[in-house]
Amino acid sequence: MSITAHRHNLLAKLGSDIRRLREDQGISTGHAFSRVAAEWLGYDLDEDNFIDLKDRGIDFWFQSDAGFDIFQTKGRELAANGAINLDPLDDEGVKDLQAAKQFLLTKSEIEGMNEKLKKFRHEWDHSIGTRRMSKEPSPIIVNLGLVVLADDLTTPARDAFTAFCDSLADAAIAENVPIEFRAQLYTVNDLLEARWRLDNREWRDNRNEKKDWIKLHPEKVEDLLSTANSAVFYCSGASDEGGH
């Protein structure tokens, strides 16, 4: 299958997944895209992790030991047949990432927040409070992701995103706890690549036949990395049919 055909098939599946979720759950196209994007990026989230608020800049989030992955998603309505308009999007998503950052760095009362946002804020404040107890608190890593249902951003929006990324180099502090912000743009091509990786977690030989084993051949034994209870070798791998 050609790359073009493969991309076409994945795009069709993306549009189909969004439309089916929208119809099954009776939610907007934007909210359906957030959930499909999270799944295609490899996240297995509860419904409470999807905040879906316009004014906070957070569509969905994931917490890890290191910190938080926070995402904003942007797209357009699907065509009647489920086709996706992949034209570049404006800087609205960049502004939402800026709003998300401001929300995290500003002490906020949870009164008046919806329940999903309260849950996120509770986890954020708890993480801040836990680290603040240390004499030298470790930083909270915040990955801000902008996922666009498009091939790219417009040139002005790209410039705005680059400027936003540059601004994240400045040190950020929340209640004496260092916060390390990072930002990443995910276009539709990044979603398709992520989905392909999720669907192709298996060994195949050069005839594209699935294998559940592989032969490893150490390159240079003298280059091994050795510790008290382990050894690491650099290897090449192949099946008997010559697949790598």
Q: Express each pLDDT in 147-192 by its tens digit.
A: 999 999 999 999 999 999 999 998 899 999 999 999 999 999 999 9
Residue 21 has pLDDT above 80, yes or no: yes
Looking at the chain, which residues constitute the CATH 3.40.91 domain(s)? Answer: 3-198
Return the CATH fold of 3-198. Restriction Endonuclease (3.40.91)
The pLDDT confidence band at residue 28, using thresholds 50, 70 and 90, is: very high
68 phi and psi angles, rounded to 5 deg: -140, 140
- Please state the pTM of the whole predicted model: 0.80
- Position 174 scores a pLDDT of 92
Identity at 217, one-letter amino acid code: H
DSSP 14-80: HHHHHHHHHHHHT--HHHHHHHHHHHHTT----GGGB---TTTS-SEEEE-SSEEEEEEEE--PPPT
